[in-house]
Structure 1
């Protein structure tokens, strides 16, 4: 049985106040009772007690937040009803074009089906949005009758409603979010992340190692994150790790070895001249030389298959022991020099779209083993990996 809404919400609000004040500032005051009654009237059925209890604590968020994983911000009641109206008119308006009578009969039939039943072809009157991602995707509560009444599901603008529930209830959703915030536990594969400026988001295990895409690397930020990590290593005063955690020596050893692996892959990418190939590919496209364009694309595919980054050695206990034997002072100097070298290599890559075969192992699990944009790996290095290791060091002091 899930904890009461009030208990979970108090935990969430308390955690936000300590760690993510920007997210806390978006939370609106409690909803008006008249608005809650209006929702029940519009939907045509009683609302779940946990949803009402939540709205009595907060009427959603003002602006775009990320309180609910992986990227959802709770709606106010007014926004919930507005979103429902959009789905009822825009989505259903497209679906009913073939035959209005048949579509109306389909909607009536599915609206009587038990809550949680799959329905891809319509937005049903007894579905109520409770959160959105700002890009046309919503979380909604399924208010149809049955044991699953009040379950929380996703509605994606391109695919429609999810076939299965994300949570059995609003109370279960808030309880899992409260646990995720306070215990750093995953929710459907997403873990909480708060930037140094207090902005909150949710990461997958994969995105913590590779951001994907070909956005240029912020080399200045990469240098800053290496400098911050090295300064933390040199500050010393670390205590022993908790069970299952790494020591300060292992954390520094990991960053040293991983940077060596990143340098080796980056040098291989540079030797392949991805920038020059990208320029030739663009010229071939402009000249409508499709044969040359296809050859250059195939060349990029072959190069990516041969250029590999595998972090396994940087996670291996024997490797970490060997590197850690030199002590923290030596590791700090090593990471500083390696970081400078890697940053110097990265700048030329920003003019191209290099890729490599990337294999990532974390906690003994392979979370990525495929071709990836190499700039995405380097962007994740400054945005997640180095800050994460710096925070791990701070937690040991």
Structure 2
């Protein structure tokens, strides 16, 4: 089951090829199976089907090399490559949230709960230029799998989307409403920069 990942991603990729080839060129091909296995082994727990399905369609962008022209979702975050997800998780998890994380992979707070520090059950899959991340919340609870927004100065909060599928569908819908270069974009809508890259107003 793709949870809407396939149609939403196809709409996004098609839009980019037509309106922003510069940004379309930053998308990496499907993630290598060995990188997915290495990341899943490093994280030590099964990853959500939505995330695995998205990686089967693309392997993020090079967020260091391509950050000026790379795809950003409507939130301003760039999708990370599978290898970068592993690196980002290891880096952020060096100092686990003492109010949540416990030995053996246990957590005091439930999925969707606000935290200040970084919880090791949050799997970062997108990053913004200012260091914020979007992460899938794998803590137990009815909101397991929700997309959370984390920033060092603000901690972890629920994002605008309950799932990765909802996030991609929202981005696709905003792109579908692109009025063209002659019309000034409204806040939260796509625009094309002078160099041909997709940006969000």
Q: TM-score range by the shorter chain?
A: 0.7 to 0.9
1:25 matched to 2:22? The reply is no
1:20 and 1:200 in contact (8 A); partners too: yes
> Structure 1 residues 106, 132: CA separation in 2 closer, same or farther (over 3 Å shift)?
closer
1:135-163 CA-to-partner distances (Å, cap 9, x unmatched) read: 2111111111222222111111222212x
Considering fraction of residues, name the structure with more helix: 1
Partner of 1:139: 134
Counterpart for residue 379 of structure 1: none
Q: Specify every segment of 5 or more residues in structure 2 that has no aligned partner in the other structure, as ranges.
A: 180-186
CA distance in 2, matches of 1:179, 1:3: 16
Match of 1:177 in 2: 171
Q: Contact 1:36 / 1:77 at 8 angstroms: preserved in 2? A: yes
**Contact persistence 1:3–1:175 (CA under 8 A):** no
Q: CA deviation at 1:25?
A: 0.6
The match for 2:200 among 193, 199, 202 is 202
In structure 2, how many angstroms separate the alpha carbons of the residues matched to 1:111 and 1:71? Answer: 29
- Once the two structures are superposed, the pairs formed by residues 29-44 of structure 1 within 5 Å of their partners are 29-44=29-44
Per the TM alignment, residue 196 of structure 1 is displaced from its structure 2 partner at its CA by 3.9
Q: Give the distance between the partners of 2:156 and 2:178, measured in 1 at CA.
A: 29
1:87 paired residue number: 92
The change in CA–CA distance for 1:119 and 1:78 in structure 2 (over 3 A counts) is: same
Alpha-carbon distance between aligned partners in 2 of 1:167 and 1:184, rounded to the nearest angstrom: 21
Deviations 1:254-302 (A, max 9, x none): xxxxxxxxxxxxxxxxxxxxxxxxxxxxxxxxxxxxxxxxxxxxxxxxx
Distance 2:143 2:33 in 1: 25
Equivalent residue runs for 1:206-245 within 5 Å: none
Q: CA RMSD in A?
A: 2.3
TM-score by length of 2: 0.83
| Superposition deviation, residue 4 in structure 1 | 1.6
1:113 aligns with 2:101: no
Q: Which has the higher contact order (CA 8 A, sep 6+)?
A: 2
Q: Give the Å deviation of 1:3.
A: 5.8
Q: Distance in 2 between matches of 1:69 and 1:178?
A: 9
Contact 1:66 1:202 in 2 (8 A): no
Question: Cα distance, 1:176 vs. partner?
Answer: 0.7
> Structure 2: how far apart are the matches of 1:195 and 1:182?
17
| 1:213-362 pair list within 5 angstroms | none
TM-score normalised to structure 1 length: 0.44
1:10 offset after TM fit, Å? 0.7
1:133–1:28: structure 2 CA closer, same or farther, 3 Å change rule?
A: same
- What is the alpha-carbon distance in structure 2 between the residues aligned to residue 178 and residue 25 of structure 1? 18
- 5+ residue gaps, structure 1, are 96-102, 204-397
For the pair shown, the structure with the greater C-alpha radius of gyration is: 1
Kept in 1, the 8 Å contact 2:60–2:81? The answer is yes
